[in-house]
Amino acid sequence: MPVSRMEQQRRRLYEMCAMAIAAGRADLDGASRVGFDIDLPVFSVGRAAELAAVHPQTLRQYDRSGLVVPQRTGGGARRYSLRDVDRLIQAQRMSQRDGINLTGIARILDLEEENRQLRRQLHALRMDDGTSVFTADMDGRITEMRRSRRARHWRHRLQTPPRELTGGASYRPVEAQSKSVVLWHTVSR
């Protein structure tokens, strides 16, 4: 099946993001904030190994040990996300530079991921601008849903007081909270 031009461009963007992460010019939080889906399985074994500067066999070893477990396609092929590539890069650095064993690396990476999730939640709480809606399912689990741009626009319009135009001697100020609408009809005789 041929890959569409849009899909090729998206893959290139994800590769550029992964290269920036590998070079230390970006991180997962920043990638997520600008719109990258950091869990989207984009990279093949060979490409992920290349981006993380490791041998493809290392990826298979990390998968078997549970250190970095990629998603699978319908045919069973491994596909790595930006999060996976970041974990590969960090695991390789800790192993090569710091001499940490795989068990230690797994623990450190899990704690860093937990820390990243907490930072993301804290950021969301600080930035609470009323753009979230919370829903509950039958089991009582609460899920956060982001409002669409259109819903935020209309909410802003409803909450913004109307601007008033000053009139002549017959000018009367309009209450800012007034919800009245005045319509004029031209009647032809």
User: For 126, left (φ over 0), alpha (ψ -120 to 50), or beta?
Assistant: alpha
pTM of the full structure: 0.64
Structure tokens at 164: 């008033």
- Farthest-apart Cα atoms in the chain, separation: 93
pLDDT in tens, 97-144: 999 999 999 999 999 999 988 988 888 777 766 556 667 777 777 766
- Over 80: is that where the pLDDT of 152 sits? no
Architecture label for domain 5-133: Orthogonal Bundle (1.10)
**Per-domain boundaries in the chain:** 5-133
**SS3 for 105-167, per residue?**
HHHHHHHHHHHHHHHHHHHHHHCCCCCEEEEECCCCCEEEEECCHHHHHHHHHHHCCCCCCCC
How much of the chain exceeds pLDDT 90, in percent? 50
Query: 3-class SS at 79?
Result: strand
